[in-house]
Amino acid sequence: MLKPLIGLTAERWSSGYLPLPDQDVQGVLRTYVEALRGAGALPVIIPLGLTEEDRQALAARLDGLLLPGGGDVDPAAYGEAPHPKLSDDVDPLRDALEIGLARDAVASGLPLLAVCRGIQVLNVALGGTLIQDIPSQVPGAVRHSFFLRDAPREHLAHAVQVAEGSRLADVLGTPIVRVNSRHHQAVRDVASGLEVVAHAPDGVIEGVELPGHPFLLGVQWHPENLQALPEMKRLFVGFVEAAANGKREERGGRSE
C-alpha cells in the first residue's frame, strides 16, 4: 500500500552567509520529518507564498496535514494589537498559508495534527484568540518557555492532564503525560467547535480536538522531540493511521 502523504508547512529564515535578502530559506526541522517517517508516512514540505487556488489544490492531494511549531502568530489575525512581549519573528505570509490550510482540513475532513504554534494557528483559524505572553498574562503560571538555551528539546517541563474519554487520551493511551515546553503563547478564547481536552497544572490549555472530525488534534508541546516515549510515538502513529484510513476509503477499500 502507498504510504500516506503528509504535508507540513515550511518556515522561513536567513541563510546567514549568502548575499541574499533575509528569510531566503524555507524548510522544516528534521525532527518532524523523522517522526512522520517513523510512523509510516511520506512527508512533503508545503512552501509559503502559494495562491489560494494552489493551496487548495495541494491540500486536496494530501492524506494528512501537520502544522508545526514556530514563531508567534500575528495578533492582527485575531483582531488584537501586539503585546510588548510579542516576538520579532512574526511571519504574516506563514500565518496566511497555515490559517487557510487549517480551514481546508476542517472543511474537508483531512486528518490534522497541530503542534505548539500549530494549535494556536488552528484556534485562530476557527475564530479563537491567544494569550500573547503567558508570564505576564497568566498569574501563577508554571514555566512554559524552556527554549534551547535553557534545556534540551526532550526536557520534560511539566505534567499535562488529558480528559479521560477524549480522542487525545485514547491516542496517547494515558490521561496524564509529562511534556516538553517551548512556548510563551497559548490558546485563550477557544474557537467555536473546538473542545479543550488537556491542561497544564496552571490551567493553560495544552490540547484541543474537533468532535466529529476523522482526526483533528492540537497539542501545545513538541511530541516530535519525544518519540522515545511510547505515548508520543502513539500520537504520530495514530495520526498517520488516520491519514492512511482516509486514503483507503477514497479508493473504496482497495489497497495498492
End-to-end CA gap in the chain: 4
Cell of residue 100, nine digits: 487557510
Burial 19-29 (b: 16+ CB within 10 A, else e): eeeebeebebb
Identified catalytic residue from 11, 116, 231, 241: 116
d(CA 193, CA 216): 12
d(CA 168, CA 119): 13
DSSP 184: S
Name the 3-class secondary structure at 33.
helix
Q: Which residue has the cell 497541530?
A: 114
Measured at the alpha carbon of residue 112, what is the angle toward residues 108 and 118, in degrees to the nearest 5? 125
Chain centroid to CA 28: how far? 13
Tell me, yes or no, if 213 is annotated catalytic: no
Identified catalytic residue from 206, 224, 231, 241: 224
Q: What is the amino acid identity at position 5? A: L
Q: Are 158 and 200 a contacting pair, CB within 8 Å?
A: yes
Identified catalytic residue from 11, 184, 222, 241: 222
Burial 199-229 (b: 16+ CB within 10 A, else e): bbeeebbbbbbbeebbbbbbbbbbbbbbbeb
Residues with catalytic annotation?
116, 222, 224
